[in-house]
Structures are given as structure tokens and as C-alpha cells.
Structure 1
Amino acid sequence: MEGVTISLFLLLAVVVSGMLARMSPIAVPVPLVQIGLGALLATATGSAITLEPTLFFLLFLPPLLFLDGWRIPKEGLFHDKGTILELALGLVIFTVLGIGFFIHWMVPAIPLPVAFALAAILSPTDPIAVSAITARVPIPKRVMHILEGESLLNDASGLVCMRFAVAATLTGTFSAGEAVLTFLWLAIGGIAVGLGVTWLVTRAKDIVSRKLGEETGSQILISILIPFGAYLLAEHLHCSGILAAVAAGIAMSYEEQRGKVLAVTRVRRAAVWDTVQFTMNGIIFVLLGEQLPGIASGAARIVSDTGHLHPIWLGYYVVAIMLALAGLRLAWVWVSLRFTLFKAARRGEVIHKPSWRLVVAISVAGVRGAITLAGILTLPLVMNDGTPFPARDLVIFLAAGVIIVSLVTASIALPALLQDLELPPEPSHQREEDDARIAAAEAAIKAIEATQHRLGNGRNDADLYADVGTRLMEVYRQRIDGRSRSGDENDQIRKVEEIERILRLAGARAERDQILKMARARKLPDEMARRLVREIDLTEARLSSPT
């Protein structure tokens, strides 16, 4: 019963954090509010939740990594694959080595393998936290795609590096050659398992749906179980469950493009996964705040092991690590940018040199978040011989401090850096969108014609089918004409479409208000009112979505 009560309080804190962040007159990142609420919760209860590392890792990481792989824009991932790989792989290794040696030099009480583990888990970045920070000052789409791609891959690479460091701490041995072979098995096996599980599950699901029909709730539940299945199978085979979850998500995005599920399933599944992502990210940060008082007191107790007497040195360590991370990232981004511009110049491409503010913004946007926290909380409690894991409370406190400092720094610096920034031109995909809409409209006309002839052939009311079909096809022909034009006439068409969208949106909202009014007056059955309101809600969501 106590566990259920605690879970409900955690969920309530996540809900309240969103409201408090929206009420704030300044752009306070939601994760910071959640950390504060977690700390208040721990202070009020006087105790902290005991986290079992393996269970915590299993519950939170697979679905979050799966969803990242599922939803990341693939065109941005492939377009900037060189830059993303440089940040996600090269920068991770650079960070692990540089920050690992730096932490061990600064705090000798932290053994070198543990310092490498801390550096590895500090290497992943969190684009969700960046999105929360830049909500009022939008970040360029291409930069956001790079950050998303970097986060997707460096989550896996950072967590795998941490796994090696923890293993070296527990066993006291490390072999570079064996590590390379192990890494290849972890990576190849994990990716194969993730792809295979998604492929097998979706194919089996398709067969069952064809024979028995599709049940939306089961489809959604299957999508939630896939990342856990991929993770557990990969771990059972001693592969990387992390990479398996990521690969399963990427495979899911391609399976979704086959269009084998009902539209209502896609709509409801997207809503469920939005809730899962919001809830899990929120609970992780609330748990950080809830654990923070105990972690801080534990770290303060062992501060004497670092050669100092006052706990304020813990704050100095956090700031020093944060500055080192920022310096390494800035240096890497600058060198990577120069290399990219050099390659573009050699290919004869037109070079648009970005502003120094954009380079600094990409560096500052390396915010640490949920993955760092989830990973550091999974450090073993004891060594193989039963002794406490060395400096566990201290490294957890340092990781938590870096998360908080990076969030605060980014929330202050990013809006200032991006405000009124002249950005390099981004490619417009308007032509591709127009071509897609024209092709879709032409396909719709053909389908209407075929269905009209099939249903109306030989019937007494064939004229009615013809009239309705003609009216519907005229809507699609107008869409084709509007998208086929160019220049000032095309701009005028788009302006008309925008006016039509605004008016239809106003009409839809008036429809819903009237239906709800009739339902309150008991002039409509509840079931009918819900169905009509849902239809209008879907229409409003489509009209309100960004184009």
C-alpha cells in the first residue's frame, strides 16, 4: 500500500510541475520544477524512496530509448549523419577520457574506473530538456535535428561505456582488446535483437489482425511491450539491451510506414506514448529531487575523503566538472564545424558560415537530463565482495549537480544566444509537400471514381452516387489546382487556405460548444455526445497542427 501511495504522489508532482512551470512569468524548465517538488516531497516525508538499480533501469530506459528511436526525424538523421556521429561517438569518447582523468585528478578519492563511469554517464544529452527551455525562443529545426540524433546515439554509446567502467570497477581488470570485441558483440547483437523483435512482433500482429480483426487496445499494449521484450532478450543473450531498445524504435518507425494499422489506432497510440514519455521523464526528475537530500548528506559525510572539510567543496566540484564539459564540447563543436566547412568547400558548395552565437548555442544545448539520471542511479550498491561501491553517493551527487547546473545555465544562456539570431538558410520542403498533396489528391480521385462505379453500377440511385462522387472529386481537383500554381497566384491561394482554416476552426469550436451545451441540457445521450465531440476534436487537431 505504501508503494502505491508513493507512486500516486510522484504522478501528482509531475502534474503540478507542469502547471507551476506554465504559471511562471519567466521560462523555468519543467525539469527544474520537478526536481524542486521532489526535494519538497522528501523533506515533507522525512525519508527517501529506496531504488533498486536494475529494476529502475528496466522500467525507465527501454521505453524512453525506444520512443526516441521511433520518433526521431530520419531525414535529419541521415542528412547530418556525419555531424551526428562526430558528436554522438567521437565526443562521447573524448568526454569519457578527458572528464574521467579530470575527475580523478580533481578528486583522488574517486577511483579512476568510477571516474570514467561518471564521465560516461555525463556524456549523453537530453533534447527534451532543451525543447522545454527553448519553448519561448524556438531553436532552428536543423540544429534540433542534430541534437536529437546526437542524443539518440550518445544515449547508447554513453551507457555502454559506463557499463565497461562499472565492470572494470567490480572486477579490477580491464583489457582494451577484450573490450573492443565485447563492444562489437554488444552493439551488433543488441541492434540485431532490436530489429528482429520488432519485425517478428509486427508480422505476427499483422497475421492475427487479418484473421480476427484489429483491436486498438491490444495494438497499443503490444507497442509498449516491444521495448521491454527487446531489452530483456538482448540482456539474456549478453548483448546491449540499450541498443536493442533504440534499434527496436527505429524499426518501429519503418514498420509504421507500411500503414497496416487503423487510423484510430495510430491516433490513440500516439496519445498514449505522449503520456508515457511525459510521465516517465517527469517521474525521473521528481525522483532526483526526492533522492537529492539523502545523496547530498551522504556526499557531505565523505567529503573529508576528498581532502577537504567543508561541504561547499562539493559545489566547486560540480561547477568545475560543468565548465570542463562545456569547454570540451565547445572545442569539439568548433573543430567539427571547421572540418565540415572544409569538406563543403572542397566539394565546391556554397558555404554559409554560422554565427559564433549559434556555435556556442549548440555547445550550451548539451543539457544533461533523464538518461544521465537514470543511468547514474543504477550504479551497484555493493562490490562483488560485499563492500560498498566506492564513492557511490559522491558520484551520484556530482551527476545530479551537473544536471541541475546545465539546466539552469541553458535556461539562461540559450534564449539570450538565440534571440534575434540571424540563422543560416534552411532548406524548404514546400515543393515536396505540394507534390505529395497533389499525388495524394490524384489517388483519392481515382479511388472515388472506382468506388462510385462499383457501388452505383446497376442501382436505381446511380445518379446519386455520381452526384456525390463528382462533388467530392471537385474538392480534390481544387486542391490540385491550388498546389500546382506558383508565384503571386500561389501566395494568394495559400492566403485563402489560411483564411479558410481559421474560419473552419472557429466553426468546429462552435459546433463542439453547442453539442456540449445540448449534452448538459440532457438533449443528447452521453455516448452520442462523446462520439460527436471526438470527431470535432480530431478535426480541430488537424486544423490546429503546424503546417
Structure 2
Amino acid sequence: MESVGIVLILLLAVVVSSMVVRLLPIGLPAPLVQIALGAALSSVTGSTVTLDPEVFFLLFLPPLLFLDGWRIPKEGLFRDKGVILELALGLVVFTVIGVGLFVHWMIPAMPLAVAFALAAILSPTDPIAVSAIAARVPVPKRLMHILEGESLLNDASGLVCMRFAVAAALTGSFSLVDAFATFLWLALGGIALGFCVTWGVMVAKDAASRRLGEEVGSQILISLLIPFAAYLLAEHLGCSGILAAVSAGITMSYVEQRGQVMAATRVRRSIVWDTVQFALNGIIFVILGEQLPSIVAGAAQVVRETGHHDPVWLILYVLAINLALALLRITWVWLSLRLTLYRAARHGQAPPRPHWRLVVATSLAGVRGAITLAGILTLPLLGADGGAFPARDLAILLAAGVIIVSLLAASIGLPPLLHNLELPPETENDRAEDAARIEAAEAALKAIAALQQEAAEQENGEAYAEIGGRLQEIYRRRIEGRSKTGSEAEALRRMEAAERRLRLAAIRAERDALFRASRARRLPDEVARKLIREVDLAEARWGG
């Protein structure tokens, strides 16, 4: 029962943190509030959650990585694949070597392998934290796509590098050739298993649904189990469970494009996954705050072993590591930009040069978050000799400090960097949306005409003709409007905005009336739920 109580308290803390964030006028990011609540819980209860690293890793990472792979915009991922790979792979190696050597030089009591493990887990970035920070100053879509793609891939590369570093710390040896061969097996095997598990499960599920019918609850549960199945199978076969979870998520997005799932399943499943993501990300940061007091106590002992007796050195270590990470990242971003411009010039292209503020924002947006914390907490409790893993508490404290400082730096720095930043208009999505709406409207017109012809000889053929004519007129106006360009298209978008406001006002008034009728017992509960759900879906359709 104690474990159940702990889980409930953690979930309650996540809910409270969400309310506190909305109440605060200064726009403090949710992760910082959750860390503070976790620290407050620890001070009040006087106890900490005992974490099993392997269980912690299994519970938190597979679903988060799976969802990232599932939802990341694939067109942005492929369009900017060069930049993303440079950041997700090259920058990770650059960070592991640079920060690892720097940390070992700064803190000799931390073994080099442990320093490399710390640097590896500090390399993944967290776009969810960035989007929360920049909510009041929207991050450019293309920059967010790059950050999301980088995060998706550097989660895997950073955690795999950490695995090698921990193995070196436990065995005391490291072979570059063996590491490269192992990396290939981990990477290729994990990617292949993630694909096979997702594809196999979805094909079997679709076959069962066609034979037995589709049940929404089981469909949602299957989607929740897939990342754990891919992760556990990959780990059992000695491959990367991390890459398997990412691969499973990407495969899921492509399988979904077949449109084999009912609309109700997609709607409800999306809500469930949003809740899972919200809860897991929040719990991770609450646990970080809850662990901080004991982590600080253990880390202070390691600091004393370095010859420094003042705990203020912990703060200096954190600030120094953050500075090193920022310098390495901005250096790599600048070099990556120069390389991209050089390649474009060689192909006769002349892309616009990004504003220096955008370059700095890209560097500052390298916020560390949930993956860094989840990874660092999986450091082994015991070393190869059966004693305590060297400098474990110090490594966890430094990672926690880097997370907090990077969140604060981005909270303070990103809004002024992105404010009033002039960027080239992103019209590709608008054109693609217009083309898709035209194509969908044309398909709808054909379906209406076919059904009218089928019903022409029936008794209610006149009703089909009259109502079908009305619907066809709506779709024809949509095609005509979406085919316009320039000022006419802009006028259409203003009209759509006005229509959206009017429809939302009408929908909300309709729902208020339904609730009044329900409260007055003029409407049975079952009918009330049905009508209110219809109104809610209509509001969601108009972006309410």
C-alpha cells in the first residue's frame, strides 16, 4: 500500500504544479515548479522514494520515446535531416568528449568513465520544456521541427553512449573496435526490432478487428503496450531498447496512415497518450526534486574528497558545466550553419542567412529535461567490486543542476531572442493544407453524387437530391475558396477566422443550454451525455 500511496502523491503533485504554473504571472516553466514541489514533499515527509534504476528506466523511457517518434513531423525530419543528424550525432560525440574531459579535469575524484557517462546523458535535449518556456513567444515552426528531430535522435545516441561509458566504469576497460561493433548491433538490431514489433502487432490487430470488430479500449491498451514490448524484446536480445522504442513510434505513425482505425479510437487514444505524457514528464521532475536533499548530501562528501570543503563548489561545478555545454553547442551550431551554407552554395543555391539571434536561440534551446534525469538515475548503485558506484550522487546532482540552470537560462533568454524576430514566411504548410482540402472536397463531391445516383430509384430519392445539392454547394465553395491566391486567399482566411468565432460562440451557448436542461432534470442523463459529446466534438473540430 505504501507504493500505491507514493504514486498517488506524485500524481497529485503533478496536478498541483499545473495549477501553480497557470496562477503564476511570470510564466515559470512547469518542470521548475515540479522540482520545487518534489523538494517540498521530501522536506515535509522526511523520506525519499527508493528507485530501482532498471525499473525506473523501463517505466518512463519507452512510452516517452515511442510518443516522440510517433508524433514528430516526418516532413520536417526529412527536409532538415542534414542539420538534425549533425546536431543529434555529431554534437553528441562532441559533447561527450569535450564535457567528459572537462568534468574529469575539474573534478579529479570523478573517474573519467563516469565523467563521460555524465556528459553522455547531458547531451539529449528536451523540446517539450522549450515549447513550455516559449509559450508566450512562439518558437518558429521550422526551428521546433529541428529541435524535435534532434531530441528524438540524440535521446538514443546519448543514452547509448552512456551505456558504453558505464560499462567502461564497471569493467575498467574500453575498446573502440568492440564499441563500434557493439554500437552497430545495438543500433541496427534495436531499429529492426522496433519496426518488426509494431508492424506485426498492428497487422495482427487489424486482422482481428476485421473478424471480430474494433473495441476502443483494447485498441488504446495495445498502443500503450507496444513500446514496452519493443523495449523489453530488444533488451532481451542485447539490442538497444531505446532505439527500439523510437523505431516503434516512427513505424506506428506510418502504419496509422493506412486509416484502419475508427475515428473514435483515434480521438480517445490521443487523449490517453496526452495524459500519459503529461503524467510521466511531471512525475520525473517531481522525483528529481524529491531526491535532491539526499543527492546533495551524498555529493557534498565527494566534493570534500576533491579538497573543497565548501558546498558552494557544487554550484560552481554546475555553472561551469552549463557554460561548457553552451559554448560547445553554439560552436557546433555555428559550424553546422556554415557547412549548410557552403553545401547550398556549391549547388548554386542562395538560402537566406539566419539572423544571429536565431542561431543563439537554437543554442540556448538545448534544454535538458526528462530524458537526462531518467537516464542519470539509472546509474548502477554498485560498482564491479561490490562497493558503491563511484561518484554516483555527485553525477546525479550535477545532472539535476544542469537541468535546472538550463531551464532558467532558456526561460530568461529565449523570449527576448525570439521577440519580433523577422523570419521568412512559412507558406509550404498553407499550400499543402489548401491542396489537401481541395482533394478531400472533390472526393466528397464524388461520394455524394454516387450515393444520390444509388438512391435515385428509392422512395426517398427526392430527399437525397435536395440535401445532396446543399452539401455539394458547400464543397464547391470550399474548392473555389481554397483555389484562390494572394489578397483573395487572405480575405478568405479572415472570413474563416470570423466564422470560427461565430461557430464557437454558438456551440458554447448550445452546450450551456444542454447543461441547464440536464441540471433541471428535463433531459435524461444518457441523452445529455450523448448531446454534450456531439457539441464537444464540434468545438474540437473548430479548435475550441
Give the TM-score band, short-chain normalised.
over 0.9
Once residues 486 and 247 of structure 2 are traced to their aligned partners in structure 1, the CA distance between those partners, rounded to angstroms, is 44
| Most deviating of 311-320 and 55-64 | 311-320
Q: Which region of structure 1 is more displaced relative to structure 2, 198-207 or 482-491?
A: 482-491
Q: Superposition pairs for residues 60-459 of structure 1, below 5 Å?
A: 60-454=60-454, 456-459=455-458
Q: 1:474 to 1:424 in 2, by over 3 A?
A: closer
Residue 457 of structure 1: how far off its partner (Å):
4.2
The answer to whether residue 528 in structure 2 is matched with residue 494 in structure 1 is no
Aligned to 2:38: 38
Aligned-partner residue type, residue 2 of structure 2:
E
* Contact 2:456/2:462 (8 A) holds in 1: no
Counterpart Cα distance in 2 of 1:75 and 1:525: 47
State the distance in 2 between where 1:490 and 1:150 align.
Answer: 35
Once the 2 structures are TM-superposed, how far is the Cα of residue 343 of structure 1 from its aligned partner? 1.4
Change (3 A) 1:100 1:487: closer
Deviations 1:340-395 (A, max 9, x none): 11111222223311121111111110000000000000000002331110010011
Farther off after superposition, 443-452 or 45-54: 443-452
Confirm whether residue 530 of structure 1 aligns to residue 534 of structure 2. Answer: no
1:480 Cα shift?
1.0
Residues 35, 288 of structure 2: 8 Å contact kept: yes
Q: Which moved more, 1:41-50 or 1:472-481?
A: 472-481
State the AA in 1 paired with 2:152.
L
Q: Which moved more, 1:417-426 or 1:241-250?
A: 417-426
Deviations 1:182-204 (A, max 9, x none): 00000000000000000000000
Contact 2:67 2:249 in 1 (8 A): yes
Letter in 2 for 1:29: P
- Aligned residue for 1:380, secondary structure, equals coil
User: How many Å separate the matches in 2 of 1:369 and 1:32?
Assistant: 10
Secondary structure of the equivalent of 1:132? helix
Distance 1:386 1:499, change over 3 A: same
- Tell me, in whole angstroms, the C-alpha distance in 2 between the residues paired with 1:188 and 1:305: 42
Q: Is the 8 A contact 1:37 1:286 kept in 2?
A: yes
Partner of 1:467: 466
TM-score by length of 1: 0.98
1:544 equivalent in structure 2: 543
Q: 1:428: Cα distance to partner? A: 3.2
Deviation of residue 463 (structure 1)?
1.1
**1:62–1:231: 8 Å Cα contact kept in structure 2?**
yes
Residue identity matched to 2:305 = D
Partners of 1:301 and 1:3 lie apart in 2 by 30
How big is the shift at 1:399? Answer: 0.5
Offset of residue 427 of structure 1? 4.2
3-state SS of 1:429 partner? helix
CA RMSD, 1 decimal: 1.1
Secondary structure in structure 2 of the residue aligned to 1:451: helix
**Unpaired stretches in structure 2, ≥5 consecutive residues:** none
The amino acid of 1:535's aligned partner reads E
Task: Report the counterpart of residue 502 of structure 2 in structure 1.
Answer: 503
Tell me the secondary structure at the aligned position of residue 185 of structure 1: helix
User: Which residue does 2:478 correspond to in 1?
Assistant: 479
Q: Is the 8 A contact 1:100 1:119 kept in 2?
A: yes
- Please give the secondary structure, in 2, of the residue aligned with 1:302: helix
CA distance in 1, matches of 2:498, 2:164: 58
Moved more, 300-309 or 457-466: 457-466
Structure 1: 5+ residue stretches without partners: none
Distance (whole Å) between structure 2 residues aligned to residue 163 and residue 491 of structure 1: 53
State the shift of 1:306 in Å.
Answer: 1.4
> Aligned residues, how many?
544
Contact 1:113/1:169 (CA < 8 Å) preserved in 2? yes
Which amino acid counterpart does residue 458 of structure 1 have in structure 2? E
CA distance in 2, matches of 1:348, 1:511: 58
Is 1:18 equivalent to 2:11 in the alignment? no
| Partners of 1:202 and 1:273 in 2: CA distance | 17
Rounded Cα–Cα distance in structure 1 between residues aligned with 2:539 and 2:281: 28
Alignment deviations for residues 3-24 of structure 1 (CA, whole Å, 9 cap, x no partner): 1111111001000101111111
Identity among equivalent positions (%) equals 69
8 Å contact from structure 1 (residues 353, 424) kept in 2? no
Aligned residues of 1:354 and 1:424 also touching (Cα < 8 A): no
Task: Tell me if the contact between 1:329 and 1:363 (Cα under 8 Å) persists in the aligned partners.
Answer: yes
CA contact (8 A) 1:29 1:132 kept: yes
Query: What TM-score, normalized by structure 2, do the two folds share?
Result: 0.98
State the partner residue of 1:520.
Answer: 519
Alpha-carbon distance, 1:46 to partner: 0.2
TM-superposed deviation, 1:485? 2.5
State the Cα distance separating 1:425 from its structure 2 match.
4.1
Question: What amino acid is the match of 1:503?
Answer: L
* Contact in 1 for aligned 2:109/2:302 (Cα 8 Å): no
- For residues 66-108 of structure 1, the C-alpha deviation after alignment (integer angstroms, 9 at most, x for no partner) is 0000000001100100000000000000000011011001001
Find the residue that maps to 1:450 and give its secondary structure.
helix
SS of 2:542's partner is helix
SS in 2 for 1:426: coil
Letter aligned with residue 256 of structure 1: E
- Classify the secondary structure of the residue corresponding to 2:136: coil
User: What is the DSSP-based 3-state SS (H/G/I as helix, E as strand, rest coil) of the residue aligned with 2:308?
Assistant: coil
Counterpart of 2:528, as a letter, is A
Residues 96-140 of structure 1 show CA distances to partners (whole Å, capped at 9, x for unaligned) of 001101100100100000000000000000000001100001111
Q: CA deviation at 1:398?
A: 0.5
1:256, CA displacement in angstroms? 0.8
User: Per-residue deviation at 1:56?
Assistant: 0.2
